[in-house]
Amino acid sequence: MTKSKWSILFVMGMAVGALCGIALAKNPTNAGPEDAPIRFPLPPPRPLSAEEELQTFKVADGFEIQLVASEPLVEDPIALSFDGDGRMWVAEMRGYMHDIEGKGEDQPLGRIKILSDTDGDGRMDRASIFLDGLLMPRGVMVWRDGAIVAEPPNLVFWRDSDGDGKADEKTIIANTYGTRGGQPEHMANCPTFAMDNWIYSASHNMRFRMVGGKWVSETTRARGQWGLSQDDLGRLYYNYNSDLLRADHVPAQYLARNPNFLAAGGVNVKLMADQSVWPSHQTPGVNRGYSPGTLRDDGTLKSVTATCAPGVYRGDLFGAEFRGNVFIPEPSANLIKRVIVDDADGMLSARNAYKNTEFWTSTDERFRPVNCYTGPDGALYVVDLYRGVLQHKAYLTNYLIKNILDRNLEQPVNRGRIWRVAPKGARAAMVKVQRDPALLEHTNGWVRDCAQRMMVERPDAKVARQLEKMVGGSKNAAARLHALWTLQGMGKMESGIALAALGDSDA
């Protein structure tokens, strides 16, 4: 056989191999039409620097967006957790979807990184690696002298025993936390410390806490897909990628105590009927963009398709009308929605804060907000994965594969940004948190949560006596509630205290 024929066969084999690879890297049961035309075709978007991306943002009147961190200081961020010193612990999923075949996902590229703002200007300027060599980590939560890290199939407490800023002691909390590697869309993620002293996760039916120096677990209901939050009363909020917001009206364990009566209401309550979104630019690159009704006539996404990580705003910086609002990322539409939650005698419902527009939009197709948090300074912090490929290979459609390849969206990877949203002119002023019961009176819910967690981590008899006085003496209902739960978490709750609290003037 001649050299030219070998060359032709080689090229043909490479092409067939590439096509076979694409055929494997997509939804095996619902990949859509084989060759659907791209609707509203657009030229390949240019990857932007963080400063350029900032210019594509439009935010609600009275607010401004500030850059907190970007590559190379942080790469592929998917979740974060603040510690009592205001440092930011970030989970980096650096192996995620380097191309449509999922290249990188079998490599231990993930990290937990600690970001610090050494000069107090609100922008992180120093990064250190707390832990590396992780395979597709799914979350991080500060705990004692280290962090709880979600790396399926394990949920692990990694301790820094010698104070050098690096993990050196490993305690497995659970080894049934999802499966190793695999797609992240329907697997346990984002461990979150709740007011009842249990650690909950999205998309997982177990909860965890430390009792008497040992980790214990308990069955609970699985909640949502990605991300988890709570309000000032400790009610949990979550969502699904095509359902903006759900919540538990009451703690799920109370509905499961009687095996002969399985209550159907009160948990996993859908709070919104309206699932519409209003992007600020055409969004043809969504997984079901070929399907009638997915895109409007102007090329914008009509209803949510990648909703995740609702963040209840509990800060003291935005104003009273924002307290208890929920900010919800829609990364496929490159936006963050604000919804107002109404509470009528414990029954929750939610509605869009704006008509035919959103709190925050971007015209940059690589703006991928995937988590929202209230920060120590009362601002809203947003994790931006920043990449062209968002959908995991397990669910890619032929339409989206075509859009990704035609528009050069596979690269670059290993970028990422973290943004701060605040009223115009409001500068960052981080609150340092200690094991101080007085901080349970703070107007920022994050500060109260952090103070409670730190007191529960290291029970102290003197602190317990202060908390007992707060239960009966504080004029702040939120402080009294936190004090009760903190006592319970410390193992210091006396029956008399609990019985007296039943007569509290605030329901």
Q: Return d(Cα 96, Cα 401) in angstroms, integer.
A: 16
pLDDT of 10 > 80? The answer is: no
What is the largest distance, in Å, between two alpha-carbon atoms of the chain? Answer: 93
DSSP secondary structure letters along 432-461: P--S-GGGGG-S-HHHHHHHHHHHHHS--H
pLDDT of 295 > 60? The answer is: yes
Per-residue confidence (pLDDT) for residue 146, from 0 to 100: 98
Per-residue confidence (pLDDT) for residue 471, from 0 to 100: 95
Residue 471, SS3 per DSSP? helix
DSSP secondary structure letters along 138-151: -EEEEETTEEEEEE
User: Residue 200 CB: number of other CB atoms within 10 A?
Assistant: 23
Residue 332 vs residue 120, higher pLDDT = 332
pLDDT of 3 > 50? The answer is: no
Mean pLDDT of 301-306: 98
Residue 256 vs residue 138, higher pLDDT = 138
**To which H or E segment does residue 156 belong?**
strand 154-159
User: Residue 205 CB: number of other CB atoms within 10 A?
Assistant: 14
Q: Return d(Cα 113, Cα 97) in angstroms, integer.
A: 20
Q: Which two tokens stand for residue 178?
A: 């999802």
Residue 349 CA: distances (Å) to CA of 249, 287, 378, 423: 10, 29, 24, 26
Residue pointed to by tokens 């439009």: 58
pLDDT band, residue 25 (cuts 50/70/90): low
**Closest among 22, 38, 56, 43 to 294, alpha carbons compared:** 38
pLDDT of 251 > 70? The answer is: yes
Q: Return d(Cα 276, Cα 295) in angstroms, integer.
A: 11
Q: Which two tokens stand for residue 280?
A: 């600020």
Per-residue confidence (pLDDT) for residue 185, from 0 to 100: 83
**Closest among 33, 21, 51 to 364, alpha carbons compared:** 51
- Judge whether 183 and 189 are in contact, CB under 8 Å: no
Helix, strand, coil percentages (3-state) for the chain, rounded to 5, are 20, 30, 50
DSSP secondary structure letters along 407-438: TT-S---S--EEEEEEETTPPP-PPP--S-GG
Which letter, b or e, does each residue of 22-43 get, where b requires 16 or more Cβ atoms within 10 Å of its Cβ?
A: beebbbeeebbeeebebbeebe
Supply the pTM of this predicted model: 0.94
pLDDT tens column, 143-193: 999 999 999 999 999 999 999 999 999 999 999 999 998 788 889 999 999
Per-residue confidence (pLDDT) for residue 71, from 0 to 100: 98
Residue 346 sits at φ, ψ, to 5 deg, of: 85, -5
pLDDT tens column, 42-95: 999 999 999 999 999 999 999 999 999 999 999 999 999 999 999 999 999 999
Length of the chain measured in residues: 507
In sequence order, the 6+-apart residues with CB closer than 8 A to the CB of 158 are 112, 130, 131, 146, 147, 148, 149, 167, 169, 170, 171
Mean pLDDT computed over every residue of the chain: 93
pLDDT band, residue 9 (cuts 50/70/90): very low
Per-residue confidence (pLDDT) for residue 13, from 0 to 100: 39
Q: Return d(Cα 256, Cα 489) in angstroms, integer.
A: 21
Mean pLDDT of 490-505: 93
Phi-psi region of 346 (alpha: psi -120 to 50; beta: other; left: phi over 0): left
Q: Return d(Cα 351, Cα 353) in angstroms, integer.
A: 6
pLDDT band, residue 11 (cuts 50/70/90): very low
The pairs formed by 472-479 with CB atoms below 8 angstroms and a separation of 24 or more are 472/500, 474/440, 474/441, 476/440, 476/441, 477/504, 477/506, 478/232, 478/440, 478/441, 478/445, 478/448, 479/440, 479/441, 479/448
Residue pointed to by tokens 């903190």: 486
Whether the bond between 259 and the residue before it is cis, its omega within 30 degrees of 0, is no
pLDDT of 430 > 80? The answer is: no
- DSSP, res 43: P
**Closest among 160, 50, 168, 142 to 87, alpha carbons compared:** 142
pLDDT band, residue 17 (cuts 50/70/90): very low
Residue 485, SS3 per DSSP? helix
Per the DSSP assignment, residues forming a β-bridge with 338 are: 327
pLDDT of 21 > 80? The answer is: no
Residue 420 CA: distances (Å) to CA of 122, 374, 385: 9, 10, 15
pLDDT tens column, 223-243: 999 999 999 999 999 999 999
pLDDT of 462 > 90? The answer is: yes
pLDDT of 434 > 70? The answer is: yes
What's the angle, vertex CA 79, arms to CA 75 and CA 82, rounded to 5? Answer: 105
Per-residue confidence (pLDDT) for residue 8, from 0 to 100: 37
pLDDT of 262 > 60? The answer is: yes
User: Residue 462 CB: number of other CB atoms within 10 A?
Assistant: 8
The pairing of strands 189-193 and 236-240 is unpaired
DSSP secondary structure letters along 320-355: GGGTT-EEEEEGGGTEEEEEEEEEETTEEEEEESSS
Q: Return d(Cα 191, Cα 138) in angstroms, integer.
A: 9
How buried is residue 115: exposed, middle or buried, by Cβ count under 10 Å (0-12/13-18/19+)? buried
User: Residue 168 CB: number of other CB atoms within 10 A?
Assistant: 12
